[in-house]
Amino acid sequence: MTSTSSPRAKPVTICVLTYGDYLQLARRVLGSIFTHCDRADYDLVVGANEPSPPVESFLREQAAAGRIDRLEISPTNINKNPMMRRMFQGIATPYIWWLDDDSHLIDDTALERRVAAAVAAPPEVVLWGDLCFCESSRAFTHLKKPSEFVRAASWYRGLPPPAWRAGGKGEFDFMGLGKGDGRWFFIPGGDFFIRTSAVRAMDWPDPRLVKNGEDVFLGEAVRQQGWKLGHIEPSGVVVSDAPRRGDVGLGYTD
């Protein structure tokens, strides 16, 4: 008898961005996914900014073998966020898991625990990872007035941005200190898990963003919608496990 049951829908699309002539990193991050994740649980989208011939050849081999579902290649480095926008287009799974190529999995349960946490979470929790915060905008952006960047965003919903002056995040006596709340909460951009519906609602990433600060601004964009961040521990992922590469840049465009 032939079964007529439909295959189980995959819950997540894993997105990995590679760059340049870093074949070892591309092999490591993709190999860690192949090793630690059940192929029935995910689609895989890989972006490649200015890949060297060996990197491009490796990625095309993986795509031909069916290990990569969609491959986005740019012969020039269009940078992280423009490529992210391209990679996010057309994703239909409920969740997206983003990994930079200098991240890699070390735990067989990393994906399973993320999906379980997301399914069990209330709908206002939309973004998961290693919850962090910055006390100064100088830690993540060259913008002199990041609050103006927030207020000009399409995702701005009127909540006062973080600031230590009175009124920051709507606080006037934060912790009894007579000032605002200047903490920017975020999930680091090398490893984040997000509801696809939230990506669509916010049209993320912001078209003005290039690279630096995008993770912190994503945390603020989430807060502006009245949504929340979720902490995943242990993460099962090693992040930023390579020297900084490529042009740092300002991280945004005017």
Domain boundaries, the chain: 12-238
pLDDT in tens, 154-213: 999 999 999 999 999 999 999 999 999 999 999 999 999 999 999 999 999 999 999 889
pLDDT score, position 131: 97
Other Cβ atoms less than 10 A from the Cβ of 30: the count is 23
Write out the E strands in 51-195.
Answer: 70-74, 95-100, 104-105, 125-129, 132-134, 184-186, 191-195
Nearest to 190 by CA among 245, 153, 137: 245
Residue 251 clears pLDDT 60, i.e. is over it: no
- For residue 17, give the H/E element and its range: strand 12-19
Residue 105 clears pLDDT 60, i.e. is over it: yes
8 Å CB contact between 84 and 46 = no
* CA–CA dist 126, 124 (Å, integer): 6
Contacts of residue 217, defined as CB under 8 A and 6 or more positions apart, other chains included, come to 141, 146, 149, 150, 153, 206, 209
pTM: 0.93
- For residue 220, give the H/E element and its range: helix 214-224
Residue 141, SS3?
coil
Sign of torsion, CA 203 49 96 139?
Answer: negative
Strands 132-134 and 184-186: antiparallel
Residue 75 clears pLDDT 60, i.e. is over it: yes
8 Å CB contact between 138 and 251 = no
pLDDT score, position 27: 98
- The structure tokens listed for 149 are 């960047």
CB burial readout 168-183, b (16+ within 10 A) else e:
bbebeebeeeebbbbb
Residue 254 clears pLDDT 50, i.e. is over it: no
- The structure tokens listed for 28 are 């490591």
pLDDT bucket at 77, cuts 50 / 70 / 90: very high
pLDDT in tens, 141-152: 988 899 999 999
pLDDT bucket at 242, cuts 50 / 70 / 90: confident
| Average pLDDT of the segment spanning 17-32 | 98
12-238 adopts what CATH topology?
A: Spore Coat Polysaccharide Biosynthesis Protein SpsA; Chain A (3.90.550)
- The structure tokens listed for 223 are 């807060």
Strands 42-49 and 104-105: unpaired
pLDDT bucket at 122, cuts 50 / 70 / 90: very high
pLDDT score, position 252: 47
Edge-to-edge strands, sheet with 95-100: 70-74, 42-49, 12-19, 95-100, 191-195, 125-129, 228-231
